[in-house]
Amino acid sequence: MDVTVRALTEDDYPAIISRVDLWWGRPVAGMLPRLFLRHFHRTSLVAVDEDDAIVGFLVGFLSPDVPDEAHTHFVAVSPEVRESGLGTLLYRRFFDIAREAGRSRVTAVVSPVNTVSQRFHQAVGFRAKPLPGQDSHDGTTPPVWPDWDGPGQHRTRFEYAL
């Protein structure tokens, strides 16, 4: 697949938000307010095809309060180009951005019901973050962090060492 990866801009927001629910197969647009593209566009990426159509994106940022950490808030790839390596390419580029900024790890948070994303993150090289008091887990099903994003908003947490 012939794609160009470039920095996201706020102008990309309408095209991204119009696709994201369809790409994810469930309502997730509310998790991606415009402010992410406005304030974190220098560390976020978009992939466009030869027709300049968006086929994937990654919204990430360098933590302002955890100096060794970068975080990916959202990554999505069009269903038509999944398994092409585009998601991994976007992550590799983000890893480079984080490394160049002196970060030593990248984190991601995934809904426990999104097992496709969990497997993808593990295939890229992320490790599931164990719950407090655990040294590790069995590696098959990532531990669920209860109420991570509020009451009833459980998450799985991942970390990639740079």
> What are the structural domains of the chain?
1-61+74-102 (3.40.630.30), 104-162 (3.40.630.30)
Give pLDDT, residue 13.
97
Sequence-ordered list of residues with C-beta below 8 angstroms from that of 14, at least 6 positions apart, any chain: none
Q: Which residue type does 17 have? A: I
Distance CA(99)–CA(77), nearest Å, equals: 23
Residues 6+ apart with CB under 8 A from 134: 143
Residue 5 has pLDDT above 90, yes or no: yes
Of residues 47 and 141, the one with the higher pLDDT is 47
Paired tokens of 148: 């991570």
Lowest mean pLDDT among 38-42, 69-73, 140-144: 140-144
| C-alpha dihedral, 162 to 98 to 15 to 47, nearest 10° | -60
Judged against a pLDDT cut of 70, whether residue 3 lies above it is answered with yes
Contact between residue 109 and residue 69 where contact means Cβ atoms under 8 Å apart: no
Mean pLDDT of the 47-66 span: 95
Residues for the chain: how many in total?
162
pLDDT digits (tens, 9 = 90+) for 28-54: 999 999 999 999 999 999 999 999 999
pLDDT cut 90: percent of the chain above it: 71
CA separation for the pair 161, 150 (Å, rounded): 27
DSSP per-residue string spanning 7-73 = E--GGGHHHHHHHHHHHHTS--GGG--THHHHHSGGG-EEEE-TTS-EEEEEEEEE-SSSTTEEEEE
> Which residues face 60 on adjacent strands?
72
Residue 89 has pLDDT above 90, yes or no: yes
User: In the structure, what pLDDT confidence band is assigned to residue 134 with cuts at 50, 70 and 90?
Assistant: confident
Number of C-alpha atoms within 13 angstroms, CB side, residue 162? 21
Segment 8-26 shows an average pLDDT of: 94
